[in-house]
């Protein structure tokens, strides 16, 4: 807990001109200058746009895939087979992003990657492979794919737990009436999952100002050419802080992320609480 | 009786699941095969599921430089074991106190814990605090303390378990027998909570094993690198291999770099690949329990 509270004291750095020699308390106050510099740069727009867009798209895709896969998974009756599928699909969720970056590299490396050699040069018969790590236009798709690949097992589990709670007698009654499986899914499963879907979506909206640092930093291998597609608030804060030693702008971005993120979460929770008191976080 | 409609759905479900499983597993297979490929072949034809020539060269290199890699491995194991142990102790103690709702001040403490889930100082404030106030740079505490030691979400999970899954009668009969709270906690509550503590330990352990961010932020000294930090530094430039290897005396151009990086990655994920199938049950349970209240 101390872990979380003492750094709060450091939030004031966003309004100071920090230097290691002077420490947190000794550094002079400079008001909103850090923020002014931040917004004067083009970076601010790109990183906020990327963070928000990726999050919104992934929330939508995540719901669709999560629910679909959970429903299909539930159709499989053999427990041993079910266990095998679950084990396999969850495996990527356990891997660190560094390892994921290695896996992606094995497929996308310009000279030695499987995709360039087997598909681009092999099947399509092109002379030159595509320089994946140099062209930013591919990265929204690559990142989305990797993100889903890693998360889908977890997404499935989320919806599966509420899917298992649905009373079996609904389906028995529907089957007696001769309803097809598709009708059952549309009329029973999806409506009953709706509260869970809405709840998880709102909670995810609360996280909309945060991004998975590992995904955006490791998987594109921190290539400058890709930044317009891969720069998010988290990667910006890191690079400004530890690579460029740009304390002021980094602190300002980090401060904004904390505060705006907090407002979003509290707002999301307030909505959830209004809908269903038991599901709210606090 | 199984209708045709149901049968079609079941087959479709199997097909989708097989595709997803394949998508999940095949990249790991490529990683493993790539690490056993002959380096010149890999350089010429790229990584492939069916390499023309197999080789143990990458692993031989790792064994030649075992000091570096074993040290990183040892560091990872040390941090994982110590971190997970401390994590379990702190989490269960905090959760136990929070589960006693009748105690004065518990409500405020609860809020205190939940607040950490909602708001934090962000990277800059956290980093500067750790470096200038706690001085964790290049110490083992830099790997142990930041962000991973305790997790409010896990505390809530364990608290709920203490409250709902352990019968109130047990507490009462123990109190009548004159046991104090500490004895009750050690002798009664902990043995009954093995499943949830296993989940907490597993999640914490994986988080420590996989952690590369703390190394990235707080560790500059190469002798303190964990296996993930080694992987990360290779990722930033294969040249790191030469410096990591230290006194092996070979130049970078002679190293089988194309396959070594894959071999190191395989070595890094091996323990998870081996252990995970056996603990899958606890893991899925923990995630699902979290999902219900999440």
Which residues of A fall within a CB distance of 8 Å from B213? Answer: 213-214
Q: Do B121 and A113 touch (CB under 8 A)?
A: no
Range from A71-75, B84-88, B216-220 carrying the lowest mean pLDDT: B216-220
Q: What is the DSSP string of chain A?
A: -HHHHHHHHGGGGGGB---TTTHHHHSPB-TTHHHHHHHHSTHHHHHHHHHHHHHHHHHHHHHHHHHHHHHHHHH---HHHHHHHHHHHHGGGGS-HHHHHHHHHHHH-TTT-HIIIIIIIIIS--SS---GGG-GGGHHHHHHHHHHHHHHHHHHHHHHHHHTTS-HHHHHHHHHTT--HHHHIIIIIHHHHHHHHHHHHHHHHHTTT---HHHHHHTTTT-GGGHHHH--HHHHHHIIIIIS--HHHHHHHHHHHHHHHHHHHHHHHHHHHHH-GGGS--
A50-59, A218-227, B9-18, B239-248: the lowest-pLDDT one: B239-248
Q: What number is the average pLDDT over the span A170-199?
A: 86
Reported ipTM exceeds the 0.90 cut? no
Closest in A75, A90, A102 to B13, CB measured? A75
pTM of the model: 0.83
Give pLDDT, residue A54.
92
Using DSSP, state whether B37 is helix, strand or coil: strand
Backbone dihedral angles phi then psi of residue B147, each to the nearest 5 degrees: 60, -25
The winner for highest mean pLDDT among A94-108, A201-215, B119-133 is A94-108
pLDDT per residue as tens digits for the range A185-203: 888 888 888 888 887 887 7
In angstroms, what CA-CA distances link A40 with A18, A37, A43, A50, A224?
A: 20, 5, 9, 18, 20
Give the A:B interface size as CB pairs under 8 Å.
243
Q: What does each C-alpha distance from B27 to A120, B47, B206, B208, B215 come to in angstroms?
A: 18, 11, 20, 23, 26
pLDDT digits (tens, 9 = 90+) for B168-204: 787 788 888 877 778 888 888 888 888 888 888 888 8
User: B residues 45-84 near A, CB within 8 Å?
Assistant: 45-49
Burial pattern B23-36, b for ≥16 Cβ within 10 A else e, equals bbeebbebbbbbbb
SS3 state at B68: helix
- Nearest Cβ partner of B235 from A200, A218, A266? A218
- Assigned token pair, B201: 């330990």
Which residues of chain A make contact with B288, given a CB cutoff of 8 A? 157, 160-161
Interface of B with A in 192-251 (CB under 8 A): 206, 209-213, 216-217, 228, 231-232, 235-236
């Amino acid at each position: 807990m101390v872990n979380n509270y003492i750094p709060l004291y450091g939030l004031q750095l966003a309004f100071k001109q920090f230097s290691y020699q002077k420490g947190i308390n000794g550094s002079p106050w400079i008001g909103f200058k850090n923020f002014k510099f931040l917004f004067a740069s083009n970076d601010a727009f790109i990183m906020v746009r990327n963070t928000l867009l990726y999050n919104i798209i992934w929330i939508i895709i995540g719901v669709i895939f999560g629910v679909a896969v959970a429903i299909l998974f539930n159709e499989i009756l053999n427990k041993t087979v079910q266990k095998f599928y679950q084990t396999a699909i969850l495996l990527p969720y356990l891997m660190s992003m560094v390892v994921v970056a290695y896996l992606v590299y094995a497929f996308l490396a310009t000279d030695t990657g499987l995709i360039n050699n087997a598909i681009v040069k092999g099947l399509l018969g092109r002379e030159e492979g595509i320089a994946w790590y140099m062209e930013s236009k591919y990265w929204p798709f690559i990142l989305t794919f990797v993100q889903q690949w890693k998360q889908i097992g977890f997404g499935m589990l989320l919806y599966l737990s509420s899917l298992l709670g649905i009373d079996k007698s609904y389906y028995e009654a529907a089957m007696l009436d001769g309803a097809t499986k598709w009708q059952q899914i549309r009329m029973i499963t999806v409506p009953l999952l709706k509260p869970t879907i809405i709840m998880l979506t709102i909670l995810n909206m609360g996280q909309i100002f945060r991004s998975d640092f590992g995904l955006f930093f490791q998987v594109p291998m921190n290539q400058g050419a890709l930044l317009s597609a891969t720069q998010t608030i988290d990667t910006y804060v890191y690079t400004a802080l530890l690579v460029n030693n740009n304390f002021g702008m980094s602190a300002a971005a980090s401060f904004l992320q904390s505060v705006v993120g907090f407002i979003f979460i509290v707002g999301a929770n307030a909505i959830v609480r209004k809908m269903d008191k038991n599901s709210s976080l606090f | 009786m199984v209708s045709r409609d149901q049968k079609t759905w079941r087959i479709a479900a199997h097909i989708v699941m097989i595709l997803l499983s394949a998508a999940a597993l095949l990249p790991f297979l490529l990683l493993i095969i790539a690490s056993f490929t002959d380096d010149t072949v890999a350089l010429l034809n790229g990584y492939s599921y069916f390499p023309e020539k197999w080789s143990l060269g990458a692993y031989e290199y790792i064994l030649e430089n075992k000091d570096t890699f074993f040290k990183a491995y040892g560091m990872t194991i040390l941090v994982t074991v110590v971190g997970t142990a401390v994590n379990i102790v702190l989490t269960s103690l905090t959760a136990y106190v929070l589960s006693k709702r009748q105690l004065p001040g518990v409500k405020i403490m609860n809020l205190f814990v939940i607040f950490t889930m909602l708001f934090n100082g962000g990277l800059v404030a956290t980093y500067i605090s750790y470096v200038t106030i706690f001085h964790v740079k290049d110490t083992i505490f830099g790997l142990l303390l930041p962000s991973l030691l305790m997790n409010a979400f896990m505390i809530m999970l364990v608290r709920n378990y203490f409250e709902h899954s352990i019968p109130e009668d047990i507490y009462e009969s123990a109190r009548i027998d004159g046991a104090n709270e500490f004895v009750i906690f050690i002798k009664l509550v902990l043995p009954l909570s093995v499943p949830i503590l296993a989940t907490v330990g597993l999640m914490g352990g994986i988080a420590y094993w996989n952690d590369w961010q703390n190394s990235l932020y707080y560790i500059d000294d190469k002798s303190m690198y964990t296996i993930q930090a080694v992987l990360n530094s290779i990722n930033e430039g294969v040249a790191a291999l030469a410096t990591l290897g230290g006194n092996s005396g070979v130049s970078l151009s002679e190293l089988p770099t194309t396959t070594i990086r894959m071999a190191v990655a395989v070595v890094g994920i091996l323990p998870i690949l081996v252990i995970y199938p056996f603990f899958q049950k606890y893991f899925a349970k923990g995630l699902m329990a979290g999902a219900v209240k999440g």
